[in-house]
Chains A and B, each alone.
Chain A
């Protein structure tokens, strides 16, 4: 059994930053909010949630990389690649407490700050402005999802690729090519070609 990633003070600091981004919180409020959360640690290539299970957590990635995908016939369609600061979960399953159709899987050793469904209900009731915070988190999730929906509906494969690389320059190294290709809805062959073009372009840019 591999050693799970260790939680360091820098992780706790990062978690505070991520939470504080949704709504300004005093030090006390932040400590209070963290009481509702739990830390979860995973090795690389571990399933956080399987198809058919009910999602019990809302997660923020504090460190690592998580992939969300749906099994369609014989292929896995990647829906999300979440790194530090991103929220990831099986949304419909969590919100409706019904079996998930998607799978969550780590691609790196990962540390999550998570809130269980039960703790969420408590926080909504007892945490100051809990309902507001809940709404703002959902709003943020909606906006991100809508951006992606629009991109996928309106951009060409090449535009999708370029836009992603521009916004996430380090991810080309970090994410296995097949997952990134699936996320961008690009055939692996096309992906290799676009990647090569991109490398040549950035080399030229350096001169």
Chain B
């Protein structure tokens, strides 16, 4: 129930819907729990579900030369789930793994289509979240193009500082496309800078 309230709040930020209008959704979403390291999406398989992450975080990666390359990190209050495969019906190129224990609400593609057809407001919701997927994707591409590794690191931690505590360092390093050693060095330098800044603020 609490998870559904969280989803309703998320939806209402994008589009105002009355309780009665939200109601049809509750019959279509299912709560699911994933243990840390469990896979929500496997590469090579077609994704037919979208997930709203209520609690926990996910990591998207692909495997190359037996190495996992982390391509995205997904936090609460985000819709995710091998979106490209979900859209195309083609096998997913990525794995999606619970990086922490995860509580998510999921909806099947066919049910989402039903919802879209039931009311133009839901169709509008679908259009808005698809726009958000696109924005997120584009931002990701721009970040990788415009930042040096250090800048990307700083940008990332200014926006997602809590991840330093929540995510294993090796995944973060992989996501930022830097070596674990470089990551440690940047992290140290960043902390030093933060401490210096807070000292200057106090004086």
Binding site for B on A (CB under 8 A): 70, 72, 77, 79, 91-92, 95-96, 101-102, 124, 129, 131-132, 134-135, 138-139, 141-143, 145-150, 152-154
Closest-by-CB residue of A relative to B133 is: A142
Q: Could you tell me if B62 and A146 are in contact, using CB atoms closer than 8 angstroms?
A: no
Nearest CB of chain B from residue A93's CB, rounded to whole Å: 10
Residues of A within 8 A of B134 (CB): 91, 95, 138, 141-142, 145
Total of A-B residue pairs, C-beta within 8 Å: 84
Closest-by-CB residue of B relative to A148 is: B141
Q: A79 with B145: in contact, given A95-B131, A146-B83 (CB under 8 Å)?
A: yes
Nearest CB of chain A from residue B16's CB, rounded to whole Å: 15
Q: Could you tell me if A101 and B142 are in contact, using CB atoms closer than 8 angstroms?
A: yes
Residues of B within 8 A of A139 (CB): 87, 130
Q: Could you tell me if A154 and B69 are in contact, using CB atoms closer than 8 angstroms?
A: yes
| 29 A-B pairs in the complex with CB atoms less than 8 angstroms apart | A72-B145, A79-B142, A79-B145, A91-B134, A91-B135, A91-B138, A92-B135, A92-B138, A92-B142, A95-B131, A95-B134, A124-B127, A129-B123, A131-B120, A131-B124, A132-B116, A132-B127, A135-B123, A135-B126, A138-B130, A139-B130, A142-B87, A145-B141, A146-B83, A150-B71, A150-B93, A152-B141, A154-B64, A154-B69
Q: Could you tell me if B130 and A146 are in contact, using CB atoms closer than 8 angstroms?
A: no
Nearest CB of chain A from residue B133's CB, rounded to whole Å: 5
Choice from A79, A92, A153 contacting B69 with Cβ under 8 Å: A153
Q: A138 with B127: in contact, given A132-B116, A145-B138, A146-B83 (CB under 8 Å)?
A: yes
Separation of A15 and B87 alpha carbons in the complex (Å): 24
Q: How many residues of B contact A (CB 8 A)?
A: 29
Main secondary structure of the interface of B (DSSP, over half): helix
Separation of A129 and B140 alpha carbons in the complex (Å): 31
B31: Cβ under 8 A from any A Cβ: no
B139: Cβ under 8 A from any A Cβ: yes
Residues of A within 8 A of B123 (CB): 129, 131-132, 135
Nearest CB of chain B from residue A183's CB, rounded to whole Å: 11
Separation of A150 and B43 alpha carbons in the complex (Å): 13
Residues of A within 8 A of B140 (CB): 149
Separation of A148 and B134 alpha carbons in the complex (Å): 13
B146: Cβ under 8 A from any A Cβ: yes
Closest-by-CB residue of A relative to B147 is: A72
Q: Could you tell me if B62 and A135 are in contact, using CB atoms closer than 8 angstroms?
A: no
Separation of A91 and B135 alpha carbons in the complex (Å): 7
Choice from B62, B87, B145 contacting A150 with Cβ under 8 Å: B62
Nearest CB of chain B from residue A80's CB, rounded to whole Å: 10
